[in-house]
């Protein structure tokens, strides 16, 4: 497992520099974004490797969702840098053009929103929602696109016969599974998830978590997942960062952080779960 950056003199590779394949997929250096006093995040640094799941945990208002938006090219940070290794070179995310960042989000990256309709097109069928991502990576054969969409619906436990139904006719759990299928159909290298089980009842959450865990392993995805649920973090994440009031107060391997928390705030989070 990778370790968080501790050397303040460590610099990310220059944009365009060739890298060996065992270097980080994402390198985040001293990232900050404050939109009001005490609101946002500051001084965040970490590395994410291919196939690794990083959990970001903390109470509401700790800055974790704002951080996720900056990591996923949807909110320009005020300070720091993010370098993405695209398989050939390290690229400075915010030195890229906006159109290149949008292309990344359509092809090599995915974003799973807490509210699934934020990541789906309400006026497009279930199959069309999946097919749009395939067209973004150059596929044009209607029959092939429809067949792949049907397979992915089955893979996320949605009957293929519902391929022409609108997502607004689906339950919340089905909408979330459809959003996951839409994001993963192009086999992205990196996926950002914001509270993917939020708002779902316990039985639906359990099925969705089993599905996510299987897909992460099978597709060898790198994932950054924001959650307030330490059970979700333990099940999915290899490593955790714990945020309080916009700062990372603890980080490390998930089992170590949750079983032997060092920071008083992490101890409070863990004890509150044990008491419930």
pLDDT 10s digits, 109-144: 999 999 999 999 999 999 999 999 999 888 999 999
For the chain, the domains span 26-108+188-275, 123-187
| CA quadruple 248, 252, 254, 258: dihedral sign | negative
Distance from C-alpha of 161 to C-alpha of 144, rounded to nearest angstrom: 16
- Domain 26-108+188-275 adopts which CATH fold? Rossmann fold (3.40.50)
Q: How far apart are CA 203 and CA 65, in angstroms?
A: 25
Q: Of 193, 250, 232, give the one whose Cα is nearest residue 4.
A: 250
Note the pTM of the prediction, 2 decimals: 0.88
Tally of CA atoms within 13 A in the half-sphere of 269 that contains its CB: 27
Strands (E), the chain: 26-36, 39-48, 53-57, 79-85, 90-92, 109-112, 190-194, 222-227, 239-244, 247-253
Condensed to tens digits (0 to 9), the pLDDT of residues 146-193 reads 999 999 999 999 999 999 999 999 999 999 999 999 999 999 999 999
């Amino acid at each position: 497992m990778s370790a968080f950056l501790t050397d303040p003199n460590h610099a990310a590779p220059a944009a365009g520099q060739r890298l060996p394949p065992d270097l980080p997929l994402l390198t985040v250096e001293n990232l900050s974004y404050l939109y009001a006093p005490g609101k946002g995040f500051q001084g965040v640094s970490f590395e994410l490797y291919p196939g690794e799941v990083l959990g970001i945990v903390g109470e509401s208002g700790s800055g974790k969702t704002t951080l996720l938006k900056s990591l996923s090219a949807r909110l320009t940070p005020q300070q720091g840098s993010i370098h993405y290794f695209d398989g050939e070179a390290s690229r400075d995310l915010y030195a890229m053009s906006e159109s290149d960042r949008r292309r990344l989000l359509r092809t090599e990256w995915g974003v799973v929103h807490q509210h699934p309709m934020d990541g789906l097109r309400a006026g497009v069928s279930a199959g069309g929602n999946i097919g749009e991502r395939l067209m973004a990576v150059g596929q044009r054969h209607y029959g092939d696109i429809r067949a792949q969409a049907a397979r992915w619906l089955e893979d996320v436990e949605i009957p293929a016969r519902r391929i022409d139904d609108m997502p607004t006719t689906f339950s919340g759990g089905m909408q979330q599974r459809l959003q996951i299928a839409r994001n993963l159909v192009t086999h992205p290298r990196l996926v950002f998830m914001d509270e993917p089980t939020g708002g779902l009842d316990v039985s639906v959450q359990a099925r969705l978590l089993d599905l996510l865990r299987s897909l992460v392993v099978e597709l060898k995805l790198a994932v950054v997942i924001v959650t307030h649920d330490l059970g979700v973090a333990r099940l999915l994440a290899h490593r955790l960062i714990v945020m309080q009031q916009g700062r990372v107060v603890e980080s490390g391997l998930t089992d170590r952080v949750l079983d032997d928390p060092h920071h008083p705030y992490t101890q409070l989070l863990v004890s509150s779960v044990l008491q419930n």
